Structure 1
Amino acid sequence: MNGYFQIDRPKILILEDEPLVADGLCKHIRDLIPDAEIVEVLPSVKRAISWFEKSAAPDLIFADIQLADGISFDVFKRFEPSCPVIFTTAFDQYAIRAFEVNSVDFLLKPIEKTELKIAFEKLRKRREVFGLPDFRNALERLNSGKIYLERLLVSHQNSLIPVGIDEISGFHKAELIFLIHRDGRRFITDFQTMEDLETKLDPAIFFRANRQFIIRIDEIKQIKTTHKGLEVHLKTSQISAVEVSRERSPLFKRWLLGGH
C-alpha cells in the first residue's frame, strides 16, 4: 500500500502543455511513487473537459495553470473532482487563486523532486490528521455559508507568504496577532481581533483557549489540572503552556471529544 495515498497503484492525472515539463514531472513521480499510474497527460482545457466527461476521477491531479487554450481553473469550474490538486506554474501571481480551489500545494516551475516530495508529504498528513477535504465538500461549505480558512497570508521580512492551515500550531495575541508555525516560527497576521480570526477557523481543529491564545487540537501534548482550571501544554517550544479557565474547561473537554 502506498504511504502517501494509502492505496495501491494511485491514479494520477497531469494537465500540462509543455512536453519536457510533463516528462520531467512523470519521472519525479515515478521515482517517488514507483507504483503510481499516470493515467493521462492532457495539454489543453478542451481535452481535459473531454477526459472528465468520460472518465472516473483520479486519486491526484497535477494541473499547470496556463494550458494551451486557457487556464485550468476553467476545468474546475465545470467539474468538481473528489481528489486533491497540486497546481504548477511558472508564474506566482496565480498562487492565491489556486489556494481558493482547495489545492494541496502550489509548485513553481521548474519543479524539483525535493519540492514534489514535500507536497506528497503534505498530502499524506492531511489524509491522516483531518481526512482530505474534496471539491464537493468545499462547495457544500460554500452553499451552507460555512467556509473556513485553508491558508493565510502572513508577513515575513517585508514579504507576504502563504501558510497552509495544516502548518499552523496556533495563534497568539500580543500587541498584534501572531501565527505560530509548527516549526516554531512566528508570523504577523493581518487580523485585528481574535474574534474575527476565530470565526474563520474550523472549530473542529481550533479552540479559543483564552483571550490571548487559539490552539490546535493535534498540537496538544499534555493537559494538567490547576486551581484555575486547565493548563494545556503544546508541542511547539514557542508556547510553554496555555491556560483554560474553569468556566471554559467544560467547553474545552467537549471540543476534545468531538462535541464542538
Structure 2
Amino acid sequence: MKVLIVEDEHLAAAKLKKMMEKYDSGIEVLDNLTAVHETVQWLRENPAPDLIMMDIQIDDGVCFEIFQQVEVTSPVIFTTAYDQYAIKAFQVHSIDYLLKPFSYEKLKQSLEKLKKINASSRPTSASIDVDELLTALKQQEPSYKSRFLVKSGTKIRSIKTRDIAYVYTDRKLNLLVTNEGDRYPVDQSLDELTHILDPDTFFRANRQLILHIDSVSAIHPYFKGRVKLDLTPPLDAEIIISSEKTPDFKAWLDK
C-alpha cells in the first residue's frame, strides 16, 4: 500500500510512519508534506496514493482547502486535535479520523476498516462537503487549556497557562518554561499545543517554539525580512521569525 502523509509536525509524522510500518512492513510512505500548497501540487503531479493520512491543521492553513483546489480520489484518514467538531463532522460524512494523540491500536482499527472497505469494493474516495466542514470548524466554540499538570520530582504541580513563558522542543523533549524559568516536560506535541492554547496570547514561532505574548522582551530586525527575538526568561538558542511569519507575528503583538 502506498501512503501519502500530510503532517507539519515532523516528530508526529515520523511516529505515524513507524506505526504504519509496524502494521504492515509492505507499506510505502511516498512523501511527508507539511502545507496546503505543496500537497495540491503533489496531487496534481503524481498518481493517486492508496491512502492519505492528513492532519487537519497544517503549516499554511486547514487541510480542507486542498479539496477545494484539486480532486482527491484517494481514501483519507484525518488526524485532528479538534475533538468536538471532528466527531460531529466526520460521523456525518462517514470519514474515519484519529484524535490526537492516538495509539497504535487506534491506527490499526482505522487501517482494518479501510481494508474491509477495499475488500467490499465500496468507493473510498474522499467525497466530502468541504464548505460544510469549514463552516463547522469556524463555528466551533474555542475551549482553550487553562492549566497543565506537570511532574516536579516526585510531586505533581498545576501550572496556569498565564504563567507559561513558552514551550519549546529540545532533543525530542517538549519543555514548558514558566515565567520564573522553571522547566517541565509535557506530553503534548507542539502541534497539539497550538490547538489548545489561546492564539490571542500564544504564537507558534517555528517548529520548535510556542511563545506567550509577554515573553517577548525585544525584537530586532533581521536580514531578508525576518526578525530576531529576545525572550524572558532567556532561551539558549537564536529565535528567528521567518519572513513569511513576520507579518502575522507583528499583527499578533499589536492586537
TM-score, length basis structure 2: 0.47
TM-score, length basis structure 1: 0.46
